[in-house]
Amino acid sequence: MPLSLNYLLKRLLWSAAVLVGVAVFSYVVIILSPGDPAAKWAGNPRGPGAAKAVEEARKELGLDLPLHLQVLNFLRMVFTGNLGYSIAYRQPVFAVLARNLAATLELLFAAYLIGVPLGSLLGVAASLRRGGSVDGFLQTLGLALASTPSFWLGMAVFSALFSAGFSAYGRVSTGLALATGFQAITGFYLLDSLLQLNIPVFVDALARLLPPALAVAAYPTGLCLRLSRALVADALLEEYVRAAVAWGVKRRVVVWKYAFRAALPGLVQVAGTAFAYSLIDAMVVEYVFGREGLGRLLFDAIAFSDFKLAIGLLVLVAAFYLAVNTLADVAQALVDPRVKL
């Protein structure tokens, strides 16, 4: 599995170039939309400091410069991580984004750790009963899971738990966090609480993480179910698998070491790409469960007319997509002996 440095370098350069394009696009949105770009950048301020704030925004964006210099200036701002101070949080935009990215990633990881294995296993089960009613049912289930609106599922889960007496709100109980002196270190609460040997917070954070994770996991479960069913079913028809069966290899080994192994590269790549799409699902579900994270930033950016935060979010999400896609391709190449890079 030669993973050439050349390929990796080319991919990285290409992704960087695309990211530049994304930044340019966002700049175009700022400039071309109706209204004064400087006022928008400053968050439509009011009161006595307003004129000054707009003037500062004008300088920051370099609106008096010729167009190509404006764009370059903006690109510089984006890529040095200096988009200024978020209006909603009064902190540097990238600091706010970084802090909240961890929260959303934790949710995404949890969702995929549940969804991908679950979906794949169900898919294998369906492929073994190919053509039967169980197979049909599972395939439809897969489609249904992938067609469920995540925010609605999140609300259903939340409401069901609530009537059973458990509020899955937020990431951790603030009272508990205060009482046990919990500190956020990495931003991944499960990790942080273990690092501080803070079991009550660990249990609490886990309990609040699972319900939203289940809501986000619906899509990858459905996806992996259908995909693994298709791939494994095909693989089981392949010559070498039939040969193995004829040779008397144990059924379990055939299914898992041969057929499933063959399906793995495809699963990895699809799951990897889907991981990027699920970011949005995670953000919406975060909003439903009142968790801190990129979803809340989305909401606050609107509430405070925080253009800087919105642009930062846009660039971050694009960077995330590109990174995940590259990683997924690389991972697939590593797993699939047939792909030569």
7 is a site residue for other proteins (CB under 8 A): no
Return phi, psi of residue 159, to 5°.
Answer: -65, -40
Q: Measured from the CB of residue 209, what is the shortest distance to other proteins in angstroms?
A: 16
Question: Of the candidates 219, 263, 225, which has an alpha carbon nearest to the alpha carbon of residue 135?
Answer: 225
Told to check if 146 binds other proteins by CB under 8 A, we report yes
Q: Which is nearer to other proteins, 38 or 283 (CB)?
A: 283
By CB under 8 A, tell whether 90 contacts other proteins: yes
In the complex, the smallest distance separating the C-beta of residue 155 from other proteins, rounded to whole angstroms, is: 5
Q: How many residues form the binding site for other proteins (CB under 8 A)?
A: 91
- Options 108, 235, 283, 333; binder of other proteins; rule CB under 8 A: 283
Residue span binding other proteins (CB under 8 A) among the ranges 51-59, 104-112, 121-129, 268-276: 268-276
Those residues with Cβ within 8 angstroms of residue 199's Cβ, 6 or more apart along the chain or in another chain: 193
Integer distance in angstroms from the first to the last C-alpha of the chain?
8
Does position 57 bind other proteins by CB under 8 A? no
Residue 185: CB atoms within 10 Å: 12
Answer yes or no whether residue 318 interacts with other proteins by CB under 8 A.
Answer: yes
CB 62 within 8 A of CB 73: yes
Q: Which is nearer to other proteins, 213 or 295 (CB)?
A: 295
**For other proteins, which stretch binds (CB under 8 A), given 3-11, 60-68, 137-145, 241-249?**
137-145
Contact between 22 and other proteins by CB under 8 A: the answer reads yes
Q: Is residue 232 a contact residue for other proteins (CB under 8 A)?
A: no
* CB nearer other proteins, residue 236 or residue 301: 301
Q: Does 197 bind other proteins (CB under 8 A)?
A: yes
- Between helix 294-303 and helix 93-128 the angle, nearest 10°, is 130
- The Cβ of residue 69 has, within 10 Å, a number of other Cβ atoms equal to 11
171 binding other proteins? (CB under 8 A) = no
Name 36's Cβ contacts closer than 8 Å, sequence gap at least 6: 54
> Measured from the CB of residue 185, what is the shortest distance to other proteins in angstroms?
17
Using the minimum distance from each CB to other proteins, give the nearer residue, 37 or 248. Answer: 37
Contact yes or no for 68/287 (Cβ under 8 A): no
Structure tokens at 258: 């041969």
CB-wise, 164 or 248, nearer to other proteins?
Answer: 164
152 touches other proteins (CB under 8 A): yes
In the numeric block, the tokens 């898992």 are attached to 256
When binding is defined by CB under 8 A, the residue of 150, 192, 211, 262 that contacts other proteins is 150
Q: Which of 310, 321, 308 is nearest to 74 (CA)?
A: 308
Q: Do 58 and 36 touch, CB atoms closer than 8 A?
A: no
Q: Could you say which of 207, 287, 327, 336 contacts other proteins (CB under 8 A)?
A: 287
Among 112, 119, 226, 262, binds other proteins (CB under 8 A): 226
Q: How far apart are CA 308 and CA 88, in angstroms?
A: 10
Closest CA to 271 of 318, 234, 217, 309: 217
Q: Which stretch binds other proteins (CB under 8 A): 76-84, 100-108, 120-128, 150-158?
A: 150-158
In angstroms, what CA-CA distances link 95 with 80, 84, 131, 162?
13, 10, 53, 34
Instruction: Please identify which residue in 51, 69, 79, 174 interacts with other proteins, judged by CB under 8 A.
Output: 174
By beta-carbon proximity to other proteins, the closer residue of 7 and 246 is 7
Q: Which of 2, 5, 47, 338 binds other proteins (CB under 8 A)?
A: 47
* Interface with other proteins, residue 313, by CB under 8 A: yes
Q: How far is CA 16 from the centre of its chain?
A: 19
Closest separation between CB of residue 247 and other proteins, Å?
A: 26
CB 58 within 8 A of CB 3: no
